[in-house]
Structure 1
Amino acid sequence: MAVELNHTIVPCRDKRASAAFLADILGLAAGPQFGPFIPVETANGVTLDFMDADEIPRIHYCFIVTEAEFDEIFARIRRRGLPYWADPGHRTAGEINHLYGGRGVYFDDPDGHNLEVITQPYK
């Protein structure tokens, strides 16, 4: 049996605002509410289900995109004036990385989740 990730729950303070933030940055759409969740589906069919929560642990989410998509996403990050980093520990501010022959950037969502966008997988 092939194992694939189908969905994950993203705890947040405001599921609508958090789903809209990610969808806007990545150029995706937030779906209609499904039970307690607001879903954002990626191209490979994985759904991030945003759910209001009292406690919000800081979670890391990484998205692989094409070079053109990276340019668009990075432009949205800069237009919003969001802080960004080249590393997951947020030590190299205002830079992107060039690991594995690609490009990558880290930024936080409104709830402090550490978001990463890369053009090449880390293998």
Structure 2
Amino acid sequence: MIQLNHTIVMAHDQDRTARFFTEVLGLPEAGRFGPFRTVRPDNDVTLDVLESGGDIAPQHYAFLVGEQEFDAIFDRIVERDIAYWADPHHGEPGVVNTRDGGRGIYFDDPNGHNLEILTREYGSGPDRRG
């Protein structure tokens, strides 16, 4: 068995970043483990937020969500006036993609990380463009 257990999310302000993840995604309050603020999605992988005083290379974090969760997250994004796009390169602003018969959007966290929520895994439906 091989499973992803955790990944490190670099942040300029770890408390603000952890709060952004938990509030926008509707997750429980972040915990603490050593120097990390730990955000725990439903599949037991943790996002370990670590504060950095230097430059941060933007990363991509994608979250597979149910239809109801998508609606709730999307509502929070709109309520907070967070820009979103249909594509990872931010070329289609304000559009929800419908790849593979699902829905998906991309948006940035406070550090410039490219976050994605999607309701269908890419390659799982009739549209196989990925």
Give the TM-score range, shorter chain: over 0.9
TM-score between both structures, scaled by the size of structure 1 = 0.97
1:21 matched to which residue of 2? Answer: 20
Tell me the residue number matched to 1:97: 97
The answer to whether residue 67 in structure 2 is matched with residue 67 in structure 1 is: yes
The aligned length equals 122
Query: What percentage of aligned pairs have identical amino acids?
Result: 49
CA contact (8 A) 1:9 1:48 kept: yes
Distance between the aligned counterparts of 2:3 and 2:86, measured in 1?
28
User: TM-score, normalising length from structure 2?
Assistant: 0.92
Give 1:44's aligned residue: 43
Distance 2:74 2:31 in 1: 26
SS of match in other structure, 1:117: strand
Aligned CA-pair RMSD: 0.7
* Residues 26-66 of structure 1 deviation map (CA, whole Å, 9 limit, x = unaligned): 10023332111000001110000000012210000000000
Contact 1:20 1:30 in 2 (8 A): yes
Asked whether the 8 Å contact 1:30–1:38 carries over to 2, the reply is no
* 5+ residue gaps, structure 1: none
Deviations 1:1-35 (A, max 9, x none): x1110000000000010000011011002333211
Gaps of at least 5 residues in structure 2 are 124-130
